[in-house]
Amino acid sequence: MHVTELVITIILFVLVAGVGFWAARWRQPPHLHSLDEWSLAGRKFGSWIGWFMLGGDLYTAYTFVAVPALLYGTGAIGFYAVPYTAIEYPLVFLILIRLWSVCRKHGYVTPADYVRGRFGSPTLALAIALTGVVATMPYIALNLIGIQATLQVIGLNGHWPLIVAFVVLAAFTYRSGLRAPALIAFFKDVLVYLLIIVAIAYIPAHVGGWGHVFSVFNAHFASVKPHNAFLLTNSNQLQYATLAFGSAAAIFLYPHAITGVLSTRSRDVVKRSIAWLPVYSIVLGLIAMLGVVALAAGIKPLVSGGKANTNTIIPGLFESVFPHWFAGIAFATIIIGALVPSAVMSIAAANLFTRNIYKEYFRRNASDREQAEVSKITSLVVKAGAVLFILGLQPQFSINLQLIGGVIILQALPSVFIGLYTRWPHRAGLLAGWVAGMGTGVAMLYVTPNTAAGQAHWGGSAFALSHLGINTTQSLYTGFIAVVINLLVTALVTLVAKALRVPDGRDETAAVDYYTDEADMPEPESEAVPA
107 binds other proteins (CB under 8 A): yes
Number of residues that bind other proteins (CB under 8 A): 62
Q: Minimum distance from CB of 45 to other proteins (Å)?
A: 17
Say whether residue 439 binds other proteins (CB under 8 A). no
Binding mask 248-277 for other proteins (x = CB under 8 A): --------------------x--xx-xxx-
CA dist., res. 208 & res. 168, Å (int): 42
CB contact set of 234 (below 8 Å; sequence gap of 6+) = 473
Neighbouring C-beta atoms of residue 362, cutoff 10 Å: 9
Site string for other proteins, 483-512 (x = CB under 8 A): -------------------------x-x-x
Do 192 and 283 form a contact (C-beta atoms < 8 A)?
yes
Determine which residue in the list 29, 177, 255, 285 makes contact with other proteins, applying CB under 8 A: 285
Question: What whole-number distance in Å separates Cα of residue 372 and Cα of residue 356?
Answer: 13
Pairing of strands 462-464, 475-477: antiparallel
Residue (447 or 512) nearer to other proteins, CB: 512
In this structure, what are the phi and psi dihedrals at residue 391, rounded to the nearest 5 degrees? -80, -35
For 472, how many CA atoms within 13 A lie in the half-sphere containing its CB? 13
Helices (H), 231-312: 237-251, 255-262, 267-276, 278-296
* 419 binds other proteins per the rule CB under 8 A: no
Q: Is 278 in the site for other proteins (CB under 8 A)?
A: yes
Q: Of the candidates 97, 151, 195, 412, which one interacts with other proteins according to CB under 8 A? A: 97
> Binding of other proteins at residue 25 (CB under 8 A)?
no
Q: Shortest distance, CB of residue 394 to other proteins, whole angstroms?
A: 33
The secondary structure element, H or E, covering residue 329 is helix 324-353
Instruction: Find residue 141's DSSP bridge partners.
Output: none
Q: Is 421 in the site for other proteins (CB under 8 A)?
A: no
- Name residue 302's beta-bridge partners: 309
Segment interacting with other proteins (CB under 8 A) among 86-94, 253-261, 312-320, 492-500: 86-94
For residue 527, the minimal CB distance to other proteins (Å) is: 8
Smallest distance from other proteins to CB 188, Å: 19
Q: Is 237 in the site for other proteins (CB under 8 A)?
A: yes
Judged by beta carbon, residue 242 or residue 440, the one nearer other proteins is 242
Interaction of residue 379 with other proteins, rule CB under 8 A: no
Decide if residue 418 touches other proteins (CB under 8 A).
no
> CA 294 to CA 71: how far, in whole Å?
10
The region of 206-214, 361-369, 395-403, 450-458 touching other proteins under the rule CB under 8 A is: 206-214
Cα angle value 329/335/341 (rounded, 5°):
130
Distance from C-alpha of 171 to C-alpha of 177, rounded to nearest angstrom: 10
- Residue 300, CA atoms < 13 Å, CB-side half-sphere: 5
Strands 307-309 and 302-304: antiparallel
Residues at the site binding other proteins, with contacts judged by CB under 8 A? 76, 79, 82-83, 85-87, 89-91, 93-94, 97-98, 105-107, 117, 209-215, 218, 230-232, 237-238, 240-241, 244-245, 268, 271-272, 274-276, 278-279, 281-282, 284-286, 289, 292, 508, 510, 512, 515, 519-522, 527-530
